[in-house]
Each structure stands twice: as structure tokens, then as C-alpha cells.
Structure 1
Amino acid sequence: MSEDTAADQRAPKAAEFSEADGLATVRLNTPGLTRRVKEELLDALRRAAESTTARAVLLLGSDKAFCVGQDLGEHARILEEEPQDALGTVREHYNRIVLALEDIQVPVVVGIGGACVGAGLGFALAGDVRVAARRAKFGTAFTGIGLASDSGLAYRLVTALGQARAMELMLLSTVFGAERALELGLVTEVVDDDAWAERARETALQLASGPTGAFVAAKREVRAAAQGGRELPELLEEEADLQNQLGQTADHVGAVRAFLNKEKPTFTGG
């Protein structure tokens, strides 16, 4: 075993997975993405995607940063030692991380406590609901170091903002604050700096106690509509199929009964 490998095994987890109360939590403890961090994050996200009991997922960074993208110190070393493989990490890690997020069928809440740039912004936009601290900063960053974007960032920005605004953010690499991100619709809510993690958790727990089947179907419908290339009649048929399936669930039947009895529905995810 090399000294580097032994040190990695002794080091605290850079990305942690836990699950309780129907909520799977993935916490990214290290904002700069080294190879080890990317591998641990991918493993944690895959565990979240494969969970059969999680009804929502919470993705958190630290107070100082959600994620700032590639660790440039490690990247500089690889550029010097293995220049032909320097960007192999895009296929090996970044693409797989984004696809692991895409594989999560239940709602994903992202808590952003600080800097969220580059690949970090791509990861955040792959979630469904984003809660940001007032101090959080956002940016695309890639062109500032002479690269095109990865982590699905261009796709997410065009889907969320349209081509013109996405082009502006990509080319100018302007850093902007949480309130601007809220105006653009890139985050769902901005809260005080000491409240972002708890608010994100509250939101995730609220979703975890909701009608899971309906949430899964809603994500499927929104993704299908956002991707384009499908005609309205096809989407309408898919909606009809989903409604037929959901109409037979205990959550739907119970919610209708609760409404008629002027009661608050209780959802079990069934």
C-alpha cells in the first residue's frame, strides 16, 4: 500500500452518505474535487439513487462552499505528469456524477452554503429544489481557465434560462450572488447564512413525507418536457398512463377521502 493510499484511508470521508426518516443525505465535506473526492461523491450519490426506502434526497456542502469544481492543484500536477489524460476525469467522474444525480427518481433538495461554481453549479442544477445562504456566490468559471463547460452545465443553463442568458453566463464567467440567482430562477429560496442547512433539511423532510409516487411522476413529466423533441400528443398519452397508475395508489385514495372529510392527508409513499 502506498503512503498516499494509506493517508486517504485515514482521512475523514470527503463525501458522506446517511439515511434516516425516509431521507437520504449526501454531504460533500470538501469543496475542491480531487480524484478521491469525486469517487466518494459518486459512491454516495449511487447509494442514494439505489435506496429503496429514501423518499427524498438532501445534497449538502459545507458552510464555506457547496462545491468549487476541480481541485486545480491536483489538475496542474496531472497536466505536468500526464497531459494526455488530464481531462479524462470528465468521462470517468463528472459525467458519472451527473448521471447518478439524474438516476435519483425521488426529489433532490440541494443546500448551498457558500461558493457554488463550475462543476459545482452543474451538480446543484441537477437537483430539483435549491436553498441558498445569502452569502452564497455562483459562477460558471470554465472559460476563465480556458475550458468549455462540463457536468451538464450548459444544458442546465439553457433549459433554465434560455440560450441568450446561458451564453452570457458562460462567456463572461461573471460571479453573482444568491439574490441574483433567485431572480434568475437558479435557486428556489434564499435564507439567512445561519439557516441554510436547516431550511434545506426541512424542505427535504417535507418532500420525504409527501406523495412519493406523484413526485416521481412529476419529475418524469418535467424532464420529458424540458428535453424537447416529443410531440404534445405523446406527452399527453404519458400523462394519462401516469394518472392511471397513481389513481390506484393508497396515497391518492387517502388524499381524496381526507379532502372530502376536510382533513389533512397523510402520505405513506404507497
Structure 2
Amino acid sequence: MNFILSDVQHGVMTLTLNRPERLNSFNDEMHRQLAEVLTQAERDDSIRCLLITGAGRAFCAGQDLNDRNVDPTGAAPDLGASVENFYNPLVKRLAKLPKPVIAAVNGVAAGAGATLALGCDMVIAARSANFIMSFSKLGLVPDCGGTWYLPRLAGRARAMGLALMGDKLSAQQALDWGMIWQVVDDESLNDTARQLATHFASQPTFGLGLVKQALYASETNTLNEQLDLERDYQRLAGRSEDYREGVSAFLTKRPPVFKGK
């Protein structure tokens, strides 16, 4: 079965997590299919924005626990291997991708599904959607970047409460706390997310990729290190075709036509 549906239109690759009967929870094959599609997104310069959503009534319920049953012999599963082989590479690839990544959260996002969504560059959520850090209910630690993203998005106190309590957080509350970009009515989610993705696909992709990397680097850089990084990235951006096109369009008072180079 195709657990990841992919579609490319107008420079936007839409990835749909496609295990609706399991609330799009991850199993190993779904991880492998997602990794394969991400390789296309990385290599294809015509893809200038990535949009991730879920099929059915959920965005993603995290890890499929049916794949994590305790061995009949009583041996404990090595959950660290799953994190190392699947979730960590996924988080790193999305962060490193030099193109905007948008999550359109259409329903429940729980466990690794919640942290996957919050690890995207921008999050648009349906009004009925919610986020659940359900790890603590199983005696586990937030993974898929959860312990890194949560304090930075929500602050330490709220991150601690979310991670320890494992309670449901509504899309509106996540917006009020500054954790996501936008909340829209359920019926408007797809159109709103696609409009934003299509907008990004027409923008100076090379520069957007540098913006993304600079903001991630600022989380650990000193001010002096970040100033040096801004200098270096601005030098690269100033040599791009998109910068020349942007300046030319401004001076001739016409709309720019960016090629993402």
C-alpha cells in the first residue's frame, strides 16, 4: 500500500500521510516511503515548497504501537533504534531542506505526529485540530525533535507542562501561545495551505532557504557568530539570480519572476 501520497503542482510537492484507518500513525514502511519521497523533494529544483498533511480525520497519531508490541520472549523493544533510524533523520532532513515546509494539520496530531508538525517551518491548523504530547502517557520522552522544539515554541514552563501532562492542546490555544502560524475553519484548510505553498513556490527559493537556515542557526549561535553568518549568507544571496531579478523588477516597476536560483 502507498502510505505516502505525493503530488507536484505549480512548484509545490504535497505529501499526504496515508494510513487513515490508523490515524496516519507511522510504521517502518511508512517511514521508508516518506524518506524516498523526501529524496525527490531534495533533488528536484522545480519543487520549491513542501506541504505535508494527513488523509482522513487525523494529521498523524505518532508511532503505530502495533509495531511496538513487546517481544513474546519478554525482551524490551529498542525504541532508540527507531528514533535513530527513522525519526531523527526525518527531523534533520526537514530542517535542512532549503525550501519552505508547511504543515496543514487537519485533525489530531499526537506524539511524534505533533512534534513532526511543530518541526515544520510554518503550521496551519484546522480549527478542530489539536496537539497532544502523548509520550508521557506511555512513560516515554518526546522525540522527533519534541524536546528541542517545544521550549523554543512555547517557552520552558508551557513546554514542561505539555510534555509532563500529555493533555490535549487545541489549535486555537497553540496559536495563542505562538506555537503555530494560523488557524482556519476546517473547510478552508486545504485552500489556505495550498495558497500559501503556491505563494512560496513563486518566491526567491534560494533566499528563503538561507533565511530558514539562519533562523535555525540563531538558536545556538552567539550574537557575534550570528552576525558573521548573516554576512556570509547575504554574500551568497547577493550573488543569486533571484536577487538580480528582484532588483531589476523593482527598478523597472514590474512584477518579479523568480526562478529559485
| TM-score, normalisation: structure 1 | 0.88
| Matching residue within 35, 45, 49 for 1:42 | 35
Is 1:234 paired with 2:225?
Answer: yes
Residue equivalent to 2:58: 65
Residue equivalent to 2:162: 169
Q: CA deviation at 1:195?
A: 1.7
Contact 1:16 1:41 in 2 (8 A): no
Contact 1:23 1:208 in 2 (8 A): yes
Residue equivalent to 2:150: 157
CA–CA separation in structure 1 for the residues paired with 2:5 and 2:149:
25
> What one-letter code is carried by the residue in structure 1 that aligns with 2:75?
P
Aligned pairs for 1:74-153 within 5 A: 74-76=67-69, 78-80=70-72, 83-87=75-79, 88-153=81-146
Residue equivalent to 2:191: 198
- Report the number of matched residues: 256
Q: CA deviation at 1:216?
A: 0.8
Q: Point out 4+ residue stretches in structure 1 off by more than 4 angstroms.
A: none
Residue equivalent to 1:7: none
> What one-letter code is carried by the residue in structure 2 that aligns with 1:255?
G
CA–CA separation in structure 2 for the residues paired with 1:107 and 1:218:
10
Contact 2:98 2:206 in 1 (8 A): no
CA–CA separation in structure 2 for the residues paired with 1:126 and 1:189:
15
Q: Indicate how the Cα distance of structure 1 residues 187 and 79 shifts in structure 2: closer, same or farther if over 3 A, else same.
A: farther
Residue equivalent to 1:223: 216
Q: CA deviation at 1:82?
A: 6.8
Contact 2:97 2:209 in 1 (8 A): no
> What one-letter code is carried by the residue in structure 1 that aligns with 2:241?
A
1:168-210 CA distance string (max 9 Å, x none): 1101111021111111222211111112122111111110100
1:224-270 CA distance string (max 9 Å, x none): 102x1x32222212211221222232322222232234333222212
| Residue segments in structure 1 that go unaligned for 5+ positions in a row | 1-10
CA–CA separation in structure 2 for the residues paired with 1:123 and 1:144:
18
CA–CA separation in structure 2 for the residues paired with 1:34 and 1:80:
19
| TM-score, normalisation: structure 2 | 0.91
CA–CA separation in structure 2 for the residues paired with 1:81 and 1:211:
56
Contact 2:128 2:170 in 1 (8 A): yes
CA–CA separation in structure 2 for the residues paired with 1:81 and 1:90:
23
Aligned pairs for 1:12-27 within 5 A: 13-27=2-16
Residue equivalent to 1:256: 247
Q: CA deviation at 1:79?
A: 4.3
Aligned-residue CA RMSD in angstroms?
1.8
| Residue segments in structure 2 that go unaligned for 5+ positions in a row | none
